[in-house]
Amino acid sequence: NHRMELQEKQRFAKFEKVLTLGDDSVKLKGEFLFCWPYSWEDKVHHVLTDKLSSDVTHWVAGLLPEVHTAVNTKYVESTAQWCVFGSPTSWRQKSLEDPEIYAKLLLYCKVIHYLFLLDDITETKEGDEGFTSYVQCVGSLIMKIWRNEVGSANIKTHQLFHCIYRNSAYTGSLFRLLLDITEDMRRRYGISADSSEFCARRMGSMYTLRTWCGYKDQSFLLNPFTQYLLRNYTGGILFCLEFLLLLEKVEIPTRVRENTFWSRCYEIFGFLPVRSNDIIGVEKEWIQMMKHGKRIDNVIFHYMVATSCSFEEAVARAINKHNFALKEQ
């Protein structure tokens, strides 16, 4: 349960819930600060999310008719909700009346659903022998596709694809989705290798940075500084930003990207949603950790192991750091 309180032009979402983590019950309690650049909306946009869910489902089913797990209804609905509320306000307001805006939102949903599917399979392989080469190949192939160095005509003969396919045929199949997305963007929006370079880097680093100095497991993330740095890139939010900038044809000059203040805002932008996700999704990720027997990249679990603190203390620390960063923004 949560409720909102207005306090000096800031809103606090109060969370209080008892979670069952294994044999123990713990209380998740705290206050999330909501102020600019966050916004709070009452409209749920059911019609829009339903339409997006249907279109994404048909798209995946058409490209991957043999992969039934890729079109799970609840999973697709989750993708649509994420994209509707994680896109520009004008897209939510106008997409049902404006086909061009809807096309952008649908493309955004497609790429996010692709990432959700890819994340699921890569997470199950964390800690396995060959994990490092697997995720490095995934990230490298992603970048080559964005840069138009690999396409539908030659992907199956590329050595990176062979490396991935040997480890996971399912992962190899998913690349059909990314190829369709990038080819559509070139046809529809005239996007080039140069203009999409930051998308290439950010999506690729979501996977190449899943390992650090050759570690096959995630023990390196028990260093809070390393965890903070890498999570900003592997969390995917910075890719989302670059993708939206690309679709809206907003080009950030090099002199701005090199500015210290821009760099800090960029860093915090990547941090805030990922930190919120770690806290709100902790129960789901605990269940995944118990199911697969592998450490999940969630800051609360890292705090508990790295500093020997309780669950409640780890949650409080995670929320406080979120709120401090938001005030800085």
Greatest mean pLDDT among 16-20, 21-25, 62-66 lies in 62-66
Token pair 């339903």 is found at: 50
Each residue of 170-219: pLDDT tens digit? 999 999 999 999 999 999 999 999 999 999 999 999 999 988 877 777 78
Token pair 């994209």 is found at: 83
Who's near 304: CB < 8 A, 6+ residues apart? 310, 311, 314
Tokens of 5: 């309180």
Whether this model's pTM surpasses 0.85: yes
pLDDT band with cut points at 50, 70 and 90 for residue 4: very low
Tokens of 293: 């027997």
Answer yes or no: is pLDDT of 223 > 80.
yes
User: For residue 124, what pLDDT is reported?
Assistant: 82
pLDDT band with cut points at 50, 70 and 90 for residue 26: confident
Tokens of 208: 């190449």
Number of helices (H), then strands (E), in the chain = 15, 3
- Alpha-carbon distance of 216 to 126, in angstroms, equals 7
- Alpha-carbon distance of 255 to 90, in angstroms, equals 28
Contact between 129 and 216 (Cβ < 8 Å):
yes
pLDDT band with cut points at 50, 70 and 90 for residue 261: very high
